[in-house]
Chains A and B, each alone.
Chain A
């Protein structure tokens, strides 16, 4: 019985991944856009750096980050943030999208848990973001000289998995929130700027006491510090065990919190009878 249930859930997850992939392939131009534009968005930061320091390295920047190479710093931030923003839009906003397509009621009426569907969406989003990041990393290696050797790929993937487990827990809770309040475009944008301001995507947060303090509560901060340490400072993953431990603890909190919150919000929306409202 338990085994049959697991098999059925896995089939649903597989079906959700296939459905999401079909939608992506229907909009090929969007795939191109998300593969290229996260790198294009950091180009102004490269020109700004060149104007402010007159070259491609900065000693004050090295005091804060350990590397003078500000270009590599922002490029890595852009690549890793792809996971965050695809999670926010792709998972957090996914149930809202089902209401746009008019398919949410069918999913709810099917004999499966919404959470299983969301896990399918989460895995699909992870695969999509990984393909995008591999493409971006290839471009960054060839055109910007970022050194990502094969030996670094396993530790990097390990940190990314630790980052996304917790973050997708948060995104699942956010998806529950969309069931309740419906239109969340504004909230997603607000979360976007929270991540841009309070995590070292674009700049070292240590430069300001407030951003340094707040960013300590954001898992992305630890993931970016560890990823940059491996790529730019050639640190071994063993030296970064404290960061991995913090990420692991944050994952447990976020996954458990996300699960509880989602169930509560789903129950509350169903009880209020507003699930099919637009």
Chain B
């Protein structure tokens, strides 16, 4: 048993290292990728400042208990990085192997498919962690974010639990690319819709009721609300314990669902002989 786990862990690490090596071969693209999220958040912040004529919003304070729109939006925005990890980095992992012509070799390796997916997840988590850290450092320097330092450790705990649920989502998307091949449309459409119902730059209260209900099925909703609760005191409408409990349930549901969909599609594509189709 120990040998088997060790064997899987080595495969996960090898996959992670392989991804880093490929990524660091294209240095200019790597640097651009680091700057991208930083630049993408700026229109949200500048738009907010243009709307209220400063960085403090009375309306936001009434809705959430905190009026500092810069800190509010920035903390929400970092979760887009985690969503991208599931929808793009993990979701596109199998498609990338197809581009490189290595999918069949990877699938022929003596490890279960989920081990491969976890290797991709390990790389994506580290990569996103790096990008988010850079984003937070620069925004903190430029806009002087003010957060409760005591909330950092529990926030990392929330993010950790949320990531497990996102891995389930990422595995599901990755398997869909085996059927649809050009799966970017699925990732793009899903990420656009998830971005609307996730309370990134606004609280849940401004969404229509059906969107609020849909948001409750997403781990990122609890992740964002709870992290902002710990760091800037956002009112959540439920307790921290409830948030952790719901996140734990979502973890189980998404991971089980992701694994089932992955196994089903993997079996179907191999049976239909379309695995190698481009």
CA distance A202 to B193 in the complex (A): 18
Give every chain A residue within 8 A of B201 (Cβ-Cβ): 44, 47-48, 51
Give every chain A residue within 8 A of B108 (Cβ-Cβ): none
Contact of A61 among B28, B51, B188, B189 (CB under 8 A): B51
Q: Choose among A29, A48, A60, A203 the residue with the greatest number of B CB atoms under 10 Å from its CB.
A: A48
Interface code A199-242, partner B: CB below 8 Å = 1, 0 otherwise?
00111100110010000000000000000000000000000000
Give every chain A residue within 8 A of B44 (Cβ-Cβ): 45, 48
**A246 touches B (CB below 8 Å):** no
**B202 touches A (CB below 8 Å):** yes
The SS class assigned to the B binding surface is helix
Tally of chain A residues near chain B (CB < 8 A): 39
Task: Say which one of B55-63, B152-160, B248-256, B265-273 lies at the interface with A.
Answer: B55-63
The SS class assigned to the A binding surface is helix
CA distance A208 to B188 in the complex (A): 30
Give every chain B residue within 8 A of A202 (Cβ-Cβ): 43, 47
Chain B contact-residue range equals 35 or more
Give every chain B residue within 8 A of A54 (Cβ-Cβ): 58-59, 62
Give every chain A residue within 8 A of B138 (Cβ-Cβ): none
What's the least CB distance linking B79 to chain A, in Å?
13
Question: Is B51 within 8 A of A211, CB to CB?
Answer: no
Subset of 14 A-B contacts with CB under 8 Å: A33-B185, A40-B193, A44-B195, A47-B196, A47-B202, A47-B207, A48-B51, A51-B60, A52-B57, A52-B69, A58-B51, A58-B52, A61-B51, A189-B36
Spell out B's residues near A (CB within 8 Å).
26, 28-29, 32-33, 36, 39-40, 42-44, 46-54, 57-60, 62-63, 69, 73, 185, 188-189, 192-193, 195-196, 200-203, 205-207
Spell out A's residues near B (CB within 8 Å).
29-30, 33, 37, 40-41, 43-45, 47-54, 58-61, 63-65, 70, 74, 186, 189-190, 193, 196-197, 201-204, 207-208, 211
